[in-house]
Amino acid sequence: MNVFGVDIGGSGIKGAPVDLERGDLAEPRHKVLTPQPATPDGVAGCVAQVLEHFGWSGPVGVTFPGVVTGSTVRTAANVSRDWIDVDAGALLGERLGGLPVTVLNDADAAGVAEMTFGAGRGRKGTVMLLTFGTGIGSALFTDGRLVPNTELGHLELKGHEAEKRASTKIKDDEGLSWEHWARRVQKYLAHLEMLFSPELFIVGGGVSRKADKFLPLIEGIRAEIVPAQLENNAGIVGAAMAAAGRGGYEEG
């Protein structure tokens, strides 16, 4: 069974049909740049472009980089604040010609995919997935059940939001070496470990493809730390799962 997933990020919007039996993309994903500013109308137009690329006409799951309750956006840190209090499901459904649309937090989607098909499969206890990109997203699981909309990238670290210190965007913007950036990530993980005592950290986002460059540099963390197996496709897979009512995702 194939269902379409779209992952809205601060820099790119990507999507593809997903084979829900395999937990993988059924076709190579298509990506467009996120409009700047990332207004509701502009982003909705880009989502429509991604679907048009495939000629898709069925159910669609869409991730959003912020808190989503029901299908209404509550926070918008890395896109336009015009999104706040917008019913994203209704907006996107109208823009997509009436297709059924399910909207959920982006890191929650990636986490559900990793817990079902990837690095968290079969893991009990407390598991935390972190997506490093334009910001830092988080998904928290206890015995496989999601605690939605945690948004732990906004925890304070050294007097700043963690994602303003340790996201991959900050690494690129400040020209940080892998060693310097790994130290920042280490401090962030130590803070999360103090608060939540997870057994496993799953590191996702595009940087997961380069896990060998920084994960070995992280020291002093008791929890196991592994890269996301679905890498940067996890959000697309999780979005499609949500649209199909799979993966245990429950709206906040």
pLDDT in tens, 217-243: 999 999 999 999 999 999 999 999 999
pLDDT in tens, 27-52: 999 999 999 999 999 999 999 999 99
Q: Quick one: pLDDT band at residue 1, thresholds 50, 70, 90?
A: confident
- Say if residue 252's pLDDT is above 60: no
62 close to 205: Cβ distance less than 8 angstroms: no
The CATH number that domain 122-229 falls under is 3.30.420.40
For residue 11, what are its two tokens? 């820099």
pTM: 0.95
Pairing of strands 12-19, 2-8: antiparallel
Same fold flag, 2-108+233-243 and 122-229: yes
Please report, rounded to a whole number, the percentage of residues in the chain having pLDDT higher than 90.
96
Sorted by where each begins, the domain ranges of the chain are 2-108+233-243, 122-229
Spatial separation of the C-alpha atoms in residues 105 and 97, rounded to whole Å: 23
pLDDT (0 to 100) of residue 157? 85
99 close to 93: Cβ distance less than 8 angstroms: yes
Q: What are the beta bridge partners of residue 128? A: 140, 201
Q: Can you tell me which residue has the tokens 């401090």?
A: 187
pLDDT (0 to 100) of residue 249? 52
Topology of domain 2-108+233-243 in CATH is: Nucleotidyltransferase; domain 5 (3.30.420)
